Structure 1
Amino acid sequence: MKTKFKMYKTIGVICIFIVTLVSCTDDLNITPNDDQTVLSENLFEDEAAYKQVLAGIYANLALTGTDGPESSNLKNIDAGTSQFGRVLLYTQTLSADQMIWSYENDPGTREIQRNIWTAQNPLLLGMFSRAHLSVALANNFLRETTEAKLDSRNVSEDTRANIAVYRAEARLMRAMAYYYMMDLFGKANFADENTPINAQPEVYDRTQLFSYVESELLDIEDDLVAARQNEYGRADKAVAQMILAKIYLNAEVYINEAHYGECITYCEKIIAGGFELADSYLHNFMADNNTNSATNEIIFPIVSDGVTTQNYGPTTVMVNGSVGSIEKNGDEVGVGTEGWGGALRVRREFSSLWGPAFADDDRNTIISAERPIDIPDISDKDTGYIIQKYSNATSTGQLGADKTFVDTDFPLFRLADVYLMYAEAHLRGGGGNLATAVGYINALRTRANNPSTISSGDLTLNFILDERSRELHWEAHRRQDLIRYGRFTGGNYNWAWKGNGSNGIAIPAHFNLYPIPVGSMAANPNLTQNPGY
């Protein structure tokens, strides 16, 4: 049985850590574009502090502030628009063909889901800022754990042995932040632990970020704990391998080079790490996914706890938001009866993926009774189907500790995605084995109790794109997938409300990247706007 990484239980230590950080620089509070954060020497008088400071780096993925879910440690940025997992979900899922948010008066959501965003969008500022805060936290940890610093504090050999692993994890969290900035914005303010404090950061473009992320992950791979051997909620070799597989799968988008063979290699490494599919598909999305069979499948989660780490993160949003305005099914999923009154629904194109062959598929959690499939008016919460994928109930039928803030961890990376990446990379010429690829797809279908398995002739790129949507919907992958397939921008694939048209219209190619937030450019003159904005 696994327990969640101590950072999610010892919240007071994390709060002290974050307060220490943000009190040091106004620039970081506004939008972390530089690297001026420093830690107090007093913090390290106790050698246990090193793990606690590492915990703060992970905590930045889940927490937004020190005074509860409404607080934000990013000045002038609302907590609801800067929680890492939530803004990742919005930028990768709400912007595509799977999800609709009913309350368009919420800052930034209307523009994201209608594909009419600008550089003033607060959700984009939240994503850009939160990712850069991850970098700043990691850099400061690395500065404070050099051999010279450890020598000056007479740190014991036992603690030093652990710090070597901690440093690799900090570098991994930093590389992951740069990976998401490369994917979403195509550039980032760049600083590492060797960048002078108070220096104006240089800007890395996509090619530079790709090279940096790749080299960092390759360099630390052997220093990380073996797959599935670390504390739950902490990163291991498989997390680094997952990000490598992701950048290689998308390399033609990022750097106009094919690296599908490398994608296959890293998928094989992850699969060899001892992961297995959860016994039930839905175990991955329940309140006990840190202890049920999903622990065999989830490679890296963003941890959520309804008591100690209350936040408006992606699982809290999706569980409460997917309670239907008509169905009022909140009691079933462990939140209030009415949830958030029909805040979330699915678009017609996603609903249409589930034909008769998927009627009994466990991945099909669509609730369509008394509802039309179309959403002609986004404010009409009674239109469009809803889904019940995420739940604040456990696999044994108990409910989460809180009726709003869920215990359900967000599965940022899981084995099912690796299976699908392997199959796609094989089809794109990366090597591997056709029979193996087909076997992986059928394993997903069998686990979902779908009697319709496929043969080698069924395995096409179009099939994989649809199967990825069925398997991985609402897991913050869809925008990236559609861009890789050339279907996000332009007009060869339109979905409801794409481009602000009820039936969807073409959007320009420069929308494959988000704009650099205006506030971030103001803070760093080296940052320039992406073309087209």
Structure 2
Amino acid sequence: MKLRSYLYIAFTGTLIATTFSCTKLNEEFRGELEEADAGNIDPAALLINAYSSLNTPYQQEQRWVLQEISTDAAMAPTRGGDWDDNGMHRAIHLHTWNADNGYMNNTFVSLGTAIYNATNVLRFNPSNQQIAEARFIRALTMFDMLDLYGVVPIREGESLEDFRIAPEVLQPEAAIDYIVKELNEIITDLPNNGPTAAYVANKNAARTLLMKVYLNKGTFINRQSPTFAAEDMNQVITLANEITNSAKYTLSVAGKYFDNFAPDNDTKSTENIFTLFNKNGERGGNVDRTWNTVAHYNMRPGGWNGWCTLSDYYDKFAEGDERRGIYYDYAADTTSNRSKNFKRQNVGFFAGQQYNWTTNQPLMARNPSTAPLVFTREVTIRTSGATLETAGIRPVKYAFDYAVTGQRNNDWVVFRYADVLLMQAEAMLRGGTGTAAEALDLVNDIRVNRGVTLFTALTLDNLLDERARELYWEGWRRQDLIRFGKFLEAWQEKAADPDPKTLVYPIPSQQIAVNPNLVQNSGY
């Protein structure tokens, strides 16, 4: 049960009035808002609107697609006529996108909307904690805007009051300074929540975001040749120690990795630092996409038979690695798989023959219905014929919430303690205070709980692979590959990038048309 709930009030105007647009509709909305009695506007409702703005880009949709399908971890193959979308998905995986790709604009708009909605909270006499929460949401979405597009448009001062004024556009160093200053100023006023209320911005969420800023700072400034200043790495290590010393988090014990993603992860997880609120009957995002985008039509529930991972990525997992897939026993599983003790795998990477969780019999494909439903290692970015329904291994990280109809209760994980430890180990390897042995111990603490053998030595290469295993499909793979200098390399169904321009996405052409302060990124 969630400890904190709010009335969700959607202000349509704030969803449209993004940080970069200057349309007539926005001007009319601003005028109406100015005429309203500001005293009648509830900052708590505006704050929930800001939190809810995060759902669309994060919950396996826009931002997630740009961070994962652009990598070796995920692919959205075209299956005959399905999943074509004018090549939009293929372009993300192949790194052949341009400034008119729908994902470029939709993600830019959604992140911009969240930045605006968070800033708007500050205009209506919020409490100190509400101010801090709103500024955290703004800092988080600014960080992602910087990561994806290399710049951050923001409305403040006159441009917040008058949409005829184009928003300022922060370049990397200015954006980093802004985000760091924001987070340092708000930590005192943020609550000291742990995993059971991780859906409320909190002190350790701010520390984790600061860790990511300092770890990626040199990459954001020079993506082709990133540097890692010792003082930045030491900031990462200091913040990690502060999070550990708060004594609010422990690594999930063996067999409980998927507690972090369960329908009741707000009560079960010992790792979650910041999440997005999902509760049936109240509010939330479309966490069903974690199942729908990968599941076959004949699975329970039936999905859209779309996305998959690649066999080279799957092969990073050793047999017996809990993260690769297990039968996970959880109360919201109301199928016979649990009640009749079938115990078929229900989370992780689905490969090979799939089974009916009512009869425990092998599932068959839809067309032809005589073909066994066997998910194969082999997959191409364009599939046809007999492979349409079966090509590709399917990852499912969030255990499906069968106990409810409609909005599922799994909170979406943004920050997790295991990531904190992996970032701390990386900072040590990159010149921060600490020994190689200490970094190795941090990573082995994770590996022992996941049921795999310990490393005898830690290198940047095997650390990157461990991040791939621990954080798969959580929305960090692209950022990791760029920071480790691997994003331009070839992998399955993607040739090596001929141009480093792909280290940053293009500014959407629609946004350049309405904001004269935006300049297209080099090469686009």
Please, what TM-score do these two structures have when normalized by structure 1?
0.79
Instruction: Give the Cα–Cα distance (whole angstroms) in 1 for the partners of residues 25 and 221 of structure 2.
Output: 26
- Given that 2:118 and 2:138 are in contact with CA atoms closer than 8 Å, whether structure 1 keeps it comes out as yes
Post-superposition shift, 1:19?
2.7
- Given that 1:140 and 1:193 are in contact with CA atoms closer than 8 Å, whether structure 2 keeps it comes out as no
The yes-or-no answer on 1:516 pairing with 2:507 is yes
- Post-superposition Cα deviations, 1:185-204, rounded to whole Å, max 9, x if no partner, equal 00121223565522221211
**Structure 1 residue aligned with 2:522:** 531
The equivalent position to 2:83 in structure 1, one of 104, 115, 120, is 104
Which stretch of structure 1 is more off in the superposition, 268-277 or 376-385?
376-385
**Residues 371 and 56 of structure 1: is their aligned pair in 2 closer, same or farther, counting only changes over 3 Å?**
closer
- Given that 1:115 and 1:507 are in contact with CA atoms closer than 8 Å, whether structure 2 keeps it comes out as no
Post-superposition shift, 1:496?
1.5
Amino acid paired to 2:313: F
Amino acid paired to 2:258: L
**Residues 526 and 44 of structure 1: is their aligned pair in 2 closer, same or farther, counting only changes over 3 Å?**
closer
- Post-superposition Cα deviations, 1:67-107, rounded to whole Å, max 9, x if no partner, equal xxxxxxxxxxxxxxx66751111010011001122343246
**Residues 106 and 115 of structure 1: is their aligned pair in 2 closer, same or farther, counting only changes over 3 Å?**
same
The yes-or-no answer on 1:262 pairing with 2:226 is no
The equivalent position to 1:242 in structure 2, one of 208, 218, 222, is 208
Instruction: Give the Cα–Cα distance (whole angstroms) in 1 for the partners of residues 451 and 192 of structure 2.
Output: 32
The equivalent position to 1:290 in structure 2, one of 250, 266, 272, is 266
Instruction: Give the Cα–Cα distance (whole angstroms) in 2 for the partners of residues 109 and 246 of structure 1.
Output: 27
- Given that 2:198 and 2:272 are in contact with CA atoms closer than 8 Å, whether structure 1 keeps it comes out as no
The yes-or-no answer on 1:213 pairing with 2:179 is yes
Please, what TM-score do these two structures have when normalized by structure 2?
0.80
Runs of 5+ consecutive residues of structure 1 not aligned to the other structure: 64-81, 146-159, 331-335, 394-398, 499-503
Instruction: Give the Cα–Cα distance (whole angstroms) in 1 for the partners of residues 398 and 18 of structure 2.
Output: 38
Instruction: Give the Cα–Cα distance (whole angstroms) in 2 for the partners of residues 169 and 34 of structure 1.
Output: 27
Post-superposition shift, 1:144?
2.1
The yes-or-no answer on 1:276 pairing with 2:256 is no
Post-superposition shift, 1:33?
10
- Given that 1:31 and 1:520 are in contact with CA atoms closer than 8 Å, whether structure 2 keeps it comes out as no
**Structure 2 residue aligned with 1:92:** 67
Percent identity, aligned pairs only, is 28
The yes-or-no answer on 1:392 pairing with 2:409 is no
**Residues 139 and 388 of structure 1: is their aligned pair in 2 closer, same or farther, counting only changes over 3 Å?**
closer
**Structure 2 residue aligned with 1:164:** 128
Instruction: Give the Cα–Cα distance (whole angstroms) in 1 for the partners of residues 430 and 17 of structure 2.
Output: 49
**Residues 480 and 22 of structure 1: is their aligned pair in 2 closer, same or farther, counting only changes over 3 Å?**
closer
Post-superposition shift, 1:118?
0.7
SS of aligned partner of 1:344: coil
**Residues 25 and 290 of structure 1: is their aligned pair in 2 closer, same or farther, counting only changes over 3 Å?**
closer
**Structure 2 residue aligned with 1:401:** 404
The yes-or-no answer on 1:178 pairing with 2:142 is yes
Instruction: Give the Cα–Cα distance (whole angstroms) in 2 for the partners of residues 442 and 32 of structure 1.
Output: 55
Which stretch of structure 1 is more off in the superposition, 183-192 or 382-391?
382-391
Which stretch of structure 1 is more off in the superposition, 277-286 or 20-29?
20-29
- Given that 1:285 and 1:408 are in contact with CA atoms closer than 8 Å, whether structure 2 keeps it comes out as yes
Post-superposition shift, 1:143?
2.1
- Given that 2:277 and 2:284 are in contact with CA atoms closer than 8 Å, whether structure 1 keeps it comes out as no
**Structure 1 residue aligned with 2:428:** 426
**Residues 219 and 126 of structure 1: is their aligned pair in 2 closer, same or farther, counting only changes over 3 Å?**
same
Amino acid paired to 1:134: A
Post-superposition shift, 1:482?
0.3
Post-superposition shift, 1:423?
0.9
Please give the residue correspondences for 1:225-374 in structure 2 after superposition, counting only pairs within 5 Å: 225-228=191-194, 231-256=197-222, 257=227, 258=229, 259-273=232-246, 274-279=248-253, 280-292=256-268, 294=269, 296-309=270-283, 311-312=285-286, 315-324=287-296, 328-330=298-300, 336=301, 338-340=302-304, 342-354=305-317, 358-365=318-325, 366-369=349-352, 370-374=374-378
The yes-or-no answer on 1:506 pairing with 2:497 is yes
**Residues 206 and 439 of structure 1: is their aligned pair in 2 closer, same or farther, counting only changes over 3 Å?**
same
Which stretch of structure 1 is more off in the superposition, 274-283 or 414-423?
274-283
Q: Work out the number of aligned pairs and report it.
A: 458
Instruction: Give the Cα–Cα distance (whole angstroms) in 1 for the partners of residues 233 and 20 of structure 2.
Output: 40
- Given that 1:124 and 1:517 are in contact with CA atoms closer than 8 Å, whether structure 2 keeps it comes out as yes
Structural RMSD (CA) = 2.9
**Residues 169 and 373 of structure 1: is their aligned pair in 2 closer, same or farther, counting only changes over 3 Å?**
same
SS of aligned partner of 2:273: strand
Amino acid paired to 1:268: N
**Residues 57 and 119 of structure 1: is their aligned pair in 2 closer, same or farther, counting only changes over 3 Å?**
same
Runs of 5+ consecutive residues of structure 2 not aligned to the other structure: 326-348, 353-373
SS of aligned partner of 1:275: coil
Instruction: Give the Cα–Cα distance (whole angstroms) in 2 for the partners of residues 26 and 513 of structure 1.
Output: 20
SS of aligned partner of 1:101: coil
**Residues 237 and 83 of structure 1: is their aligned pair in 2 closer, same or farther, counting only changes over 3 Å?**
closer
**Structure 2 residue aligned with 1:461:** 460
Post-superposition shift, 1:226?
2.1
Q: Which runs of 4+ in 1 moved over 4 A?
A: 22-47, 82-85, 193-196, 229-232
Post-superposition shift, 1:31?
12
Post-superposition shift, 1:40?
6.0
Instruction: Give the Cα–Cα distance (whole angstroms) in 2 for the partners of residues 135 and 34 of structure 1.
Output: 18
